Amino acid sequence: EAQVTQNPRYLITVTGKKLTVTCSQNMNHEYMSWYRQDPGLGLRQIYYSMNVEVTDKGDVPEGYKVSRKEKRNFPLILESPSPNQTSLYFCASSLIQGMTYNSPLHFGNGTRLTVT
Amino acid sequence: AQTVTQSQPEMSVQEAETVTLSCTYDTSESNYYLFWYKQPPSRQMILVIRQEAYKQQNATENRFSVNFQKAAKSFSLKISDSQLGDTAMYFCAFMKANAGKSTFGDGTTLTVKP
């Protein structure tokens, strides 16, 4: 089954304790992206990757890191989490072909992160 | 930078009736995609419909259709014969072709009443 898998689904942590949210897709998609969802603010893009070893900032990258060492994986790293990073996080992937084609985003099931 | 505006934070509709959700966007790009995604209480993000900017014909998917007005930068979603399972938050999204940035609206919470 084609899917984007995020882990964990729920995470409660304390301020300053490094954490990683994993994201993996099995569709051989070039494009992967991380979003955070907060009430009234929709989804805001954190980082994205157009291909292996190619990453770029979205609209809200502060406090986050990513890496894309393999095509299928795109982990989100919070080196020193703070309470304002409490949010619902989504990973997504998409097929990009040539200069003009983007498939729709395929989303993971989300990770609810609470930082106390 | 692109912006996407959904001006209706909440809407409701009676079962079997038709409802239209509005979305406007601002961009200087000529080649892009627009999407509507649905997020039910399960919080899963589900694609509803997709529109390529270069296509003049409005996209349709069963009970879902869009009114895409490129010059006006408007992309509304019409849901016909509303069903209880359509109750969800709906997000309008913009993505430039072959580029990484994507922009979502703040969402419209739709409630279908029996």
pLDDT digits 0-9 by tens, A56-79: 999 999 999 999 999 999 999 999
Q: Where are the beta strands (DSSP E) in A14-70?
A: 19-25, 31-37, 43-51, 54-57, 65-66
Give the pLDDT confidence score for residue A98 in this predicted structure: 61
Give the pLDDT confidence score for residue A13 in this predicted structure: 96
Confidence of residue A97 (pLDDT cuts 50, 70, 90): low
Tell me how close the Cα of B57 comes to any Cα of chain A, in angstroms.
Answer: 17
Instruction: Summarize the confidence of residues A7-28 as an average pLDDT.
Output: 97
Q: Cβ–Cβ of A104/B106 closer than 8 Å?
A: no
Lowest mean pLDDT among A95-109, B25-39, B42-56: A95-109
Here the tokens at position B5 are: 């505006």
**pLDDT tens per residue across span B7-48:** 999 999 999 999 999 999 999 988 889 999 999 999 999 999
Furthest-apart CA pair in chain A: how many Å? Answer: 44
Give the pLDDT confidence score for residue A99 in this predicted structure: 58
User: Please, are residues B64 and B94 in contact by the beta-carbon 8 Å criterion?
Assistant: no
Q: Cβ–Cβ of A42/B35 closer than 8 Å?
A: no
Q: Which residue in B31, B43, B107 is closest to A42 by CB distance?
A: B107
> Which residues in chain B are closer than 8 Å to A33, comparing Cβ atoms?
100, 102
Tell me how close the Cα of B49 comes to any Cα of chain A, in angstroms.
Answer: 9
Cα distance between residue B11 and residue B19, in whole Å: 9
A39: contact with B, CB 8 A cutoff: no
Chain centroid to CA B98: how far?
A: 21
Does the pLDDT of residue B6 top 90, yes or no?
yes
